[in-house]
A and B are shown apart, each in its own frame.
Chain A
Amino acid sequence: MSTITAEQSNESGLARLRELWDQYLPYWLATPMVLVMLVITLFPGAYDLYLSLVEYKMSSPGSIGEFAGLSNYRTAFTEAGALKSFGVTLTFVGGALAMQTVLGFAMAALLHGVKSDRAEAFYRVVFILPMAVAPVSLATISRVMLNTEVGIIPYLVRELTPFAAPTFLSDFPLLTLMLVDTWHWTPFMFIIFYAGLSSIPDTLVEASRVDGAPLWRRYVHVILPYMKPVLFVAVLIRMIDLFRHFGLAFTLTGGGPGTATQLVSLNVYEQGFRFVDLGAAAAIAVVYLLFVIAVANVLIAKVGFEGVWE
């Protein structure tokens, strides 16, 4: 990593290029990522911020550019129902994240104890399959299966239980959305937890067993602390993805009935493309982005990076 000496500068141009390549290797390797990141974080963020501060209704062309102060923000939070959509999103994210984390961990722990390799391989493949389903397809499947008249699930409820079949998408739309999303993305948690559990050194578990620790204590004091980095990254990434959830809600409920399942991303879409008010849409997006970054930062600060990046 020394400076180029006179001797080296006499060498061919190719050799010098190679020298430069080696000398600044980390910069070359990281540059494409930095460029892409600059474009995809600064540009949309700045543009949204700009849009949120100007008058911009696509219905009246040429009206863009007039500074509007904070009026878009006022519109967003008084008329456009942004507050309600924040509440809906928080409920959705919290509920779905809890279900998927618990279920994913339970299935990973149960599978981890399976002795037969063939059974283990079978379950592992089956459990990750839902990830392959596109939200559009999943919405189709769910609509057919949950439909009051033609759906198999209400039919089975009617036939096999004494209860009347609920109308899932109108009686408890948000819960239904959470459940469908849980079917869809529990595999993501499962596969990460399963890999994490498989990586726990046998000696560690063996030692606590010899100490006579009961099962739950072994989980609380040995397995979970060891799994902390894995748990943290999985929950963080899944949480962020839930915050940006769009496709399934858009195609399954479209935000309805009413605004019962109107997540923030659906609200922004509606403001921007249905009510063609890009200013209000951008205002909601800006607040939402700051909010999600804050939540993620609190989580990162609380749990800490130490366990993750030693």
Chain B
Amino acid sequence: MAATDAERDLDAERPDTRLSKDTRERLTAIGRHAVLLAWSVVVLFPFYWIVSMSLKPAREAISLPPKWIFLPTVIHYIELAQNGEFVYAFFNTVLMVSASVILVLLIGVPAAYVLSRYDVPHQRDVLVWILSSRMLPPIAVVIPFFVIFRELNLFDTRIAMIFMYVTINISLVVWVMKAFFDGIPETLEEAANVDGATRFQAFRKVILPSAKPGIISVAIISFIFAWIELLFSLVLTNQQAATVAVQVYQFIGVRQIEWGMLAAASTAVIVPVLVFLIAVNKYLAAGLSFGVVLKE
């Protein structure tokens, strides 16, 4: 809209410019797409590079000038699939992260509803308090939990990691969902109450379905934040609960020369989230609007 508006404004000021309106609109459209495409290239090129590297035979992987045309090989992926630790960590991470997302939604969404609909004393302070859990540098969080997990025999367990993932995401879930519930008119519940539903039934059957885009988008973001987390797994896991991020990190340290393997491992970590993001991207935009969408 922006640039075409500019056109119309120019029109108003200088009605007799030489180029026709159509031509100028086309020119701004071209300019707009040029910038958008340029940023697309910046975004996509690293993906292309890492994937192509993972498909190149070892000798060609880092040769310069780059081999733009090559015979792809899946040898690195086969090697990766035979790496028991990597495969275990991969599926272990999927399991732990998924469980943590379900848990954080179960805890955070009802609380956000309460913050949105009820007269919570010191609401502002409560919200800042919730956000403050995200202000602690993870390293300052990890030392105390390292000590207590040892005491409770929870070191290197899935339960401990799932809990840590909940701590990362709880504030985001509450903040985004509170804003989202704020955007849903209260008349919806009132109507349900008139129909004889209790407050909880109204929440479950009327409000939750209306909040679906927000829930989905906050679930995606929570999944991503947990999936890419490195420090907690680095310090709090060993074998049982090891995550895929740590595995990739170890590739960097130990096998610095094996670019192909490294590229394949990195690709394997990116792809699940990528597929997930593309599948649900429609909801993401609607859900992350912090309630403004529905307010108008």
Q: Point out residues on A near B: beta carbons under 8 Å.
A: 21-22, 25-26, 29-30, 32-34, 36-37, 40-41, 43-45, 47-48, 51, 103, 106-107, 109-115, 119, 123-137, 139-142, 144-145, 150, 152, 155, 159, 183, 191-192, 194-196, 198-201, 205, 209, 212-215, 218-219, 227, 229-230, 233-234, 236-237, 240-241, 243-244, 246-247, 250-251, 264-265, 268-269, 272-273, 278, 281-282, 285-286, 288-289, 292-293, 296-297, 300, 305, 308-310
Contact = CB atoms under 8 A, between A and B. Distances in A.
Interface string B145-172: 1011000000000000000001100101
A196 B278 contact: no
Contact of A131 (B35, B203, B224, B245): B224
Nearest to B137: A265
Interface in B204-259: 224, 227-231, 235, 245, 248-249, 251-252, 259
Chain B's interface size range is 35 or more
Contacts of A29: 110-111, 113-114, 203
Contact of B129 (A41, A192, A199): A41
B49 A141 contact: yes
Given A37-B133, A137-B270, A229-B290, A107 B170 contact: no
B263 A140 contact: yes
A247 B245 CA distance: 10
23 contacts: A25-B199, A29-B113, A30-B110, A34-B111, A36-B166, A113-B1, A131-B277, A132-B224, A134-B270, A135-B245, A144-B62, A144-B259, A152-B66, A192-B289, A194-B285, A195-B292, A218-B5, A250-B231, A251-B230, A281-B143, A282-B140, A289-B136, A308-B179
A33 B174 contact: yes
Given A134-B228, A247-B228, A282-B140, A240 B2 contact: no
Interface string B109-150: 011011101101001100111111111111111011101100
Chain B interface mostly helix, strand, loop or mixed? helix
B12 interface: yes
B111 A289 contact: no
A109 B4 CA distance: 12
A114 B46 contact: no
Contacts of A251: 230, 249, 252
Contacts, number: 314
B189 interface: no
Contact of A33 (B107, B199, B228, B278): B107
3 nearest CB pairs, A to B: A285-B140, A33-B111, A195-B289
Interface stretch (B15-23, B37-45, B75-83): B37-45
B91 interface: no
B200 interface: yes
A112 B36 contact: no
Contacts of A159: 65
A251 B246 CA distance: 11
A195 B1 contact: no
B138 A37 contact: no
Nearest to A34: B111
B85 interface: no
A125 B278 contact: yes
A44 B107 contact: no
A7 B283 CA distance: 48
Contacts of A150: 62-64, 259
A126 B43 contact: yes
Nearest to A41: B133
| Most chain B CB inside 10 Å of its own CB: which residue of A103, A119, A269 | A269
